Structure 1
Amino acid sequence: MRRPLTTYLPEWTRDWLEIIIPGVQILLILLGAWLLQYLLRRLVNRLRQHYQLPLELTMPLKGLLRWTLMIAALMMVLERLGVSATVLWTAFTGFATVGAVAFFAAWSVLSNLFCAFLIFTARPFRLGDGIELMDAADKPGPRGRVVDINLLYTTLEDGDGATGTLLQIPNALIFQRVLRRWRGGLPLPVRSAPPAPEVPTPEAAP
């Protein structure tokens, strides 16, 4: 049976090894977390350049990845320092429960954030396009030229002739309606005005 390496070392070195080995393991954990964070950050930057994503969308994603890696590295470091795995699991499940409650509480906001990501990647329309939201194919709704897309709203310049009027539509609503699109900022068709009521003409006097 092979003896452990520590049996061949002097007595005074064994106490140091109990400090050096966990220290080296902790350094490797921190180095691995930093390297993984660096690679993920470069991946997000490449996706941003490829899909032309706005900075407001990639910054929260980078923050989420950074904090996830930091929490995972912290739990591994605490485990190497002798913290009980039961304590770590209890803390993790408590954190996950709080995160799940916060997720459902902010579902409407998060759905708009996710739909903003889909708008920038799937490109159902772009800035300058004319769009119209409809409940069905024969029921017209709000329409206008897309002038801004942020994490929560898509802003339209009213296409019904109201000068200076802007329509802010939640991003999640766009994926729940039929969408009509005019590419490249083409002028939107003008809706026909209702016919003027007929004015009765006075009868000729006898």
Structure 2
Amino acid sequence: MTLDSLAEWLLAYSGPLIRGGQVLLILLLAWLLQRLLARGLNRLAMRYPQLPVEVLWPLRGALRWLIMGSAFMLVLERLGVSAQVLWTALTGFVAVAAVAFFAIWSVLSNLFCALLIVTLTPFRIGDCVEVIESADKPGVIGRVLSINLFYTTLEDLSGDAPGCWVQVPNSLFFQKAVRRWRNGELPVARKLEI
């Protein structure tokens, strides 16, 4: 292969080679940014141990999807898809997501309330809580066993079914009054009522 034929080959394929290099650079930078943010979140969790893992995992996942989605949009733009088409597709997706949001608002409400329970800690695992229905109806009372994204699991202390587990939707803790005992034990007077 002569120098002239190499120069012709480079001229003929310089556009696709540059575009391929740009795509690889975009993907590499997105991967590095995602790794740096994940490392930063890990350091934040180590520095502040009261920051719950239940908050960090969704945040890490959302950042990963945001970065990779942005990188995907940039790659498509470098491959020749027009920005107008990309924005039209993105806004269409956002509109459908908004409709889906309203369709599943109760599920999202429980997810958001789980985030609030974990960050604001109105109660913790091991605490005794009572969700007060109204003045004339007894509420759910129990010891908190676990808190997940949709439900808080209580060990029933009401006497009707001792030892039974009750799963209370997280949004209920923000819709009703809640009585809490921090040490995990009900006061003696409250035990006698039950």
Q: TM-score, normalised by structure 2?
A: 0.79
Residue from 20, 25, 28 that aligns with 1:31 = 28
| Structure 1 contact 137–178 (Cα < 8 Å) conserved | no
Matches within 5 A, 1:125-140: 125-135=123-133
Cα shift readout 1:92-140 (whole Å, capped 9, x = no counterpart): 1122122222222221111111211221221111111011122578975
Which structure is larger by alpha-carbon Rg, 1 or 2?
Answer: 1
From 99, 119, 122, give the equivalent of 1:124. 122
Distance 2:62 2:122 in 1: 26
Q: Deviations over 1:69-110 (max 9, x none)?
A: 222111111111111112111111122122222222221111
| Deviation at residue 191 of structure 1 after TM alignment | 4.6
Alpha carbons 1:51, 1:120 under 8 Å: kept: no
Gaps of 5+ in 1: 1-9, 194-206
- Given candidates 37, 40, 45, the residue that maps to 1:40 is 37
CA distance in 2, matches of 1:105, 1:46: 37
Cα 1:61–1:105, aligned 2, differ >3 Å: closer, same or farther? Answer: farther
Deviations for 1:131-165, whole angstroms, at most 9, x for unmatched residues? 11225789752221111211111111222223122
Q: Match for residue 107 of structure 1?
A: 105
Tell me, yes or no, if structure 1 residue 154 matches structure 2 residue 155: no
- Residue 182 of structure 1, CA deviation: 0.6
Q: Distance in 2 between matches of 1:71 and 1:95?
A: 13
Identify unmatched segments of 5+ residues in structure 2: 1-6
Which residue does 1:71 correspond to in 2? 69
Query: What's the counterpart of residue 167 of structure 1?
Result: 166
TM-superposed deviation, 1:187 = 2.7
Pick the structure with more helix per residue.
2
Q: CA deviation at 1:51?
A: 3.3
TM-aligned CA distance change 1:186 to 1:46, over 3 Å: farther
Native 8 Å contact 2:34 2:64 kept in 1: yes
Contact 2:127 2:180 in 1 (8 A): yes
Q: 2:183 matched to which residue of 1?
A: 184
- Map Cα deviations across residues 29-67 of structure 1 (whole Å, 9 max, x no partner): 111211121123234444555335346x65444333323
RMSD of aligned alpha carbons: 2.7
The one-letter code matched in structure 1 to 2:95 is T
Alpha carbons 2:157, 2:163 under 8 Å: kept? no
- Partner AA of 2:169 in structure 1: P
Contact 2:128 2:142 in 1 (8 A): yes
**Matched residues in 2 for 1:47 and 1:111: separation?**
27
% identity of equivalent residues: 57
**Among 10, 16, 20, the residue aligned to 2:17:** 20
How many pairs align?
183
